[in-house]
Structure 1
Amino acid sequence: MISRDVVLGNLEGYDLKDAKIGVLASHSALDTCEGAASEGFRTVAVCQKGRDAAFSRYFRAQRDSAGNLTRGVVDDTIMLDKFNQIMQPEVQQDLMKRNALFVPNRSFTSYCSIDDVEDNYAVPMVGSRNLLRSEERGEERDYYWLLEKAGMPFPQKVEKPEDIDGLTIIKVHHAVKKLERGFFTAKDYDQFVEKSTELIAQGVLEPDFVEHARMEKYIIGPVFNLDFFYNPLEEKGEKTELLGVDWRFESSLDGYVRLPAKQQVELEEDGIIPEYTVCGHNMATIRESLLDKAFELAEKYVEATKKFYDPGIIGPFCLQTCVDKDLNFHIYDVAPRIGGGTNVHMSWGHPYGNTLWRTNMSSGRRLAMLVREAIEQERVDEIVT
């Protein structure tokens, strides 16, 4: 892990009166930039050529002669051939010269190696640098390890394909779409072999996918991504906040389930198995009797991160859950940073965040508000790692 002294030494060179919010231009970057703009910050989006139009053109910021924002949210862009070039020393120096406080998202830790993120990225990062590795399934102390240590609920693990006895979901990365999932379900070992053979033939799975697969009992119920926020600077109210709830649109699964059951069976007989590629999100709420349970999960997670990943979670995190027929939560994924579905909060906020803060409060804006609070209180060192 890069020395904290190095990061704080770089922070000392910042003019925090002219602090900007920096982000890799993918995932939830628009929410991050919009939230920053709402709190009066200028923004820097690090783009990859060919994937930059939304940031470099269509949501580019325009300001009047007084510097007031009149259109868009992206003030400056840094154009790279590949996202992982953000690790180059000259790119890092560029960000720091711009006084950019960097917000990590999942694209940052997917396109860049987690080793580089931990050891070689010297830009002050808003959030918990050491927790980002916990999102890598299969690591010794991944989020499943952390959930178990915290006594939090997650789907029962199936150790090997031959043990499949009842509907099981097999989690593995897509063979071609490296940042996507190659998930599939099976009710028994024979179906596992049948489906996996077909998916290997289609190029969805690598032949040796089992080595890296996570198999667990399938929870039948709706999916809710709980977008939380932890403010380590809070001294009066609760430090843990629920900002919003979102759920996913997945291709080709969502189109598959809209078909009549007979056609679904026919598709499966033809070897067409739905994929779980996330292509969008929508907003949701949960019944109020579930709110206490949701907060209990969040508090357990916060305490576990403090115990095992000092200094613990800072800012946004997302507990991705299923709710079973008895209204129990089961956590199937954890994002120790801003979630992938927070763009649904963008600009107009979310009922929970808005209710708490009495204004439009998105995840991106709440993050920027934390940065503003830290600057005003001269406590930025407490929110960067």
Structure 2
Amino acid sequence: MIDRKEIIEIVEGYDADKIKIAAVGSHSALDVFDGAIEENFRTLAVCQNGREKTYTDYFKSQRDTNGNILRGIVDESVCLDKFNEVLKPEIQKKMIEDNVLFIPNRSFTSYCSIDAVENDFKVPLVGSRNMLRSEERGLDQDYYWLLEKAGLPFPERINDPQDIDELVMVKLPHAVKKLERGFFTAGTYEEYLEKSQSLLRQGVITQEALDDARIERYVIGPVFNFDMFYSPIESEMSKLEILGIDWRFETSLDGHVRLPAPQQMKLAEHQLTPEYTVCGHNSATLRESLLEEVFRLSEKYIEAAKKHYDPGVIGPFCLQTCVDKDLNFHIYDVAPRVGGGTNVHMSVGHPYGNTLWRKPMSSGRRVSFEIRRAIETGQLDKIIT
């Protein structure tokens, strides 16, 4: 792990009036850039050739002769053959010379190895560099391990598929779509065998991935992704904030639920098992009496993160939950960085964040707002790693 003191020394050489906000051009980058523009920062998109035009053309910024923004949100872009080329020393050197603060998103840690992010990427990150590893499911100290240490609720694990006695979710990666899911459900061991063999024949999953799959009891209920924020520099009010809530559109699951049951039963084999590939998000709010529990769960997560991943949570994080029939939360995933669904709130802001800050406050803007506050109070060292 790069020593935090080394990153702080790099930032101490920055011109605070010329700081740029950068992110990998994917996932939640539009929200990050929109928020940066709102807080009067310049922006830099790290793009991959072949999927760059969203940032280089369609959301490119236009400014007047005084530098005032007229339209768009991406001031500069760097286009690489592969996203992981952002790790090249010459690319890092240029970003450091340009006073860049880098906002990690899931695409950054998916396309770049987590070892390289921890040990080789010297551009200052806003957030906890060491917590990004906790998102890698299956590692010794992943988010499940942290949830257990925190005493937080998560779906019960079934270690042997022969023990399946009610509906479960089988979690494993997709064989072809490397960054997506090959998830499937089963209610019995026989159904597990039937579905897994079908997916193996179709090439959707691999035997190796199936052998390492995590099997969890299925929580029947709505899904809420809580977009939270923790400020280590806040001294007067609560350091913990809820900014907003989102939920997902998933293919081909959302197509399946629109079909009558008899039609679902007659689908061809390759159509029969829904996939869970996230393709969009929508906004939500929560029954008000349940908000207190969300804060309680978040506080416990923050406390455990501080103990086991010092310095712990910095800035945005997302608790992804299901709510059962008795209104109990079950955390099935945790994002220790900007969540994947925050674009739904860019420009207009998150419902709860707006209420708290009395202005449009998306996750992206909250990150840049924190950077601005840290610069103005001389505490930038407390929010970077």
TM-score category of the 2 structures, normalised to the smaller one: over 0.9
Contact 1:267 1:273 in 2 (8 A): no
1:100/1:248 CA distance change after superposition, 3 Å: same
CA separation of 1:119 and 1:269: change in aligned 2, threshold 3 A: closer
Q: How does 1:111-150 map to 2 (within 5 A)?
A: 111-150=111-150
Question: Does 2:307 align with 1:307?
Answer: yes
2:81 alignment partner in structure 1: 81
Residues in 1 aligned to 2:360 and 2:203: alpha-carbon distance in whole angstroms: 44
Secondary structure in 2 matching 1:77: strand
Between 1:49-58 and 1:259-268, the stretch displaced more is 259-268
Q: Is the 8 A contact 2:143 2:334 kept in 1?
A: yes
Give the match for residue 98 of structure 1: 98
Does the CA contact (< 8 Å) of 2:202 and 2:270 recur in 1?
Answer: no
**Displacement of 1:201:** 1.5
**How far 1:5 moved relative to its partner?**
2.6
Please give the alpha-carbon distance, in whole angstroms, between the structure 1 residues aligned to 2:372 and 2:181.
36
For 1:166 and 1:327, the matched residues in 2 are separated by: 20
CA deviations on 1:315-338 (whole Å, 9 max, x unpaired) are: 000000000000000000000000
Match of 1:260 in 2: 260
Instruction: Give the alignment of 1:258-337 within 5 angstroms.
Output: 258-267=258-267, 272-337=272-337
1:234-253 → structure 2 map (5 Å cutoff): 234-253=234-253
Of stretches 192-201 and 308-317 in structure 1, the one that deviates more from structure 2 is 192-201
Q: Which residue of 2 aligns with 1:352?
A: 352
Deviations 1:126-173 (A, max 9, x none): 000000000001111100000011010000001021111100000011
> Which residues of structure 1 form unaligned runs of 5+?
none
Q: How does 1:135-284 map to 2 (within 5 A)?
A: 135-267=135-267, 272-284=272-284
What's the CA shift string for 1:150-199, capped at 9, x where partnerless? 01000000102111110000001111111111110001111111101111
Structure 2 Cα separation of the partners of residues 214 and 69 of structure 1 = 48
The aligned amino acid for 1:56 is: T
Taking the aligned partners of 2:270 and 2:329, their CA distance within structure 1 comes to 35
Task: Percent identity, please.
Answer: 62
Cα deviation digits, residues 103-129 of structure 1 (max 9, x gap): 000000000000000011100000000
SS in 1 for 2:322: strand
C-alpha contact (below 8 Å) 1:125/1:384 kept by paired residues: yes
TM-superposed CA distance for 1:270, in Å, is 6.6
Distance 1:7 1:99 in 2: 12
For 1:229, what is the secondary structure of its paired residue? strand
Match of 1:41?
41
2:22–2:45: 8 Å Cα contact kept in structure 1?
Answer: yes
Return the alpha-carbon distance in structure 1 between the equivalents of residues 270 and 77 of structure 2: 47
Deviation, structure 1 residue 212: 2.5
Contact 2:44 / 2:76 at 8 angstroms: preserved in 1? yes
Structure 1 position 263, deviation (Å): 0.9
**CA deviation vs aligned residue, 1:22-42 (integer Å, no higher than 9, x gap):** 101000000000000000000
SS in 1 for 2:250: strand
Which segment drifts farther, 196-205 or 145-154? 196-205
Name the aligned partner's letter for residue 41 of structure 1.
F
- Tell me which stretches of 4 or more aligned residues in structure 1 moved more than 3 Å: 268-271
Cα RMSD of the aligned pairs, angstroms, is: 1.0
* Residue of structure 1 equivalent to 2:27: 27
Give distance in 1, aligned partners of 2:335 and 2:137. 12
Is 1:48–1:79's contact at 8 Å kept on the other side of the alignment? yes
Q: How far apart in 2 are the matches of 1:267 and 1:155?
A: 30
Taking the aligned partners of 1:328 and 1:67, their CA distance within structure 2 comes to 50
The reply on whether 1:370 has 2:370 as its aligned counterpart is yes
Conservation of the 8 A alpha-carbon contact between 1:198 and 1:271: no
AA of the residue aligned to 2:8: L
Q: Is the 8 A contact 2:46 2:80 kept in 1?
A: yes
> Could you tell me which amino acid in structure 1 is paired with residue 44 of structure 2?
V
TM-superposed deviation, 1:269: 6.0
After TM superposition, the score normalised by the length of structure 1 is 0.99
Using the alignment, how far apart are the partners of 2:340 and 2:15 within structure 1?
30
Please, which runs of 5 or more residues in structure 2 have no aligned partner?
Answer: none
Would you say how many aligned residue pairs link Structure 1 and Structure 2? 385
Q: CA deviation at 1:9?
A: 2.1
Could you say what secondary structure the match of 2:207 adopts?
coil
Letter in 2 for 1:296: R
**Residues 1:270 and 1:173: Cα distance change in structure 2 (over 3 Å):** closer
SS of 1:194's equivalent?
Answer: helix
Offset, 1:206: 1.0
Aligned match of 2:384: 384
**Separation (CA, whole Å) in 2 of partners of 1:163 and 1:110:** 33
| 1:50-94 deviation digits (Å, cap 9, x = unpaired) | 011100000000001111000000000011000000110001011
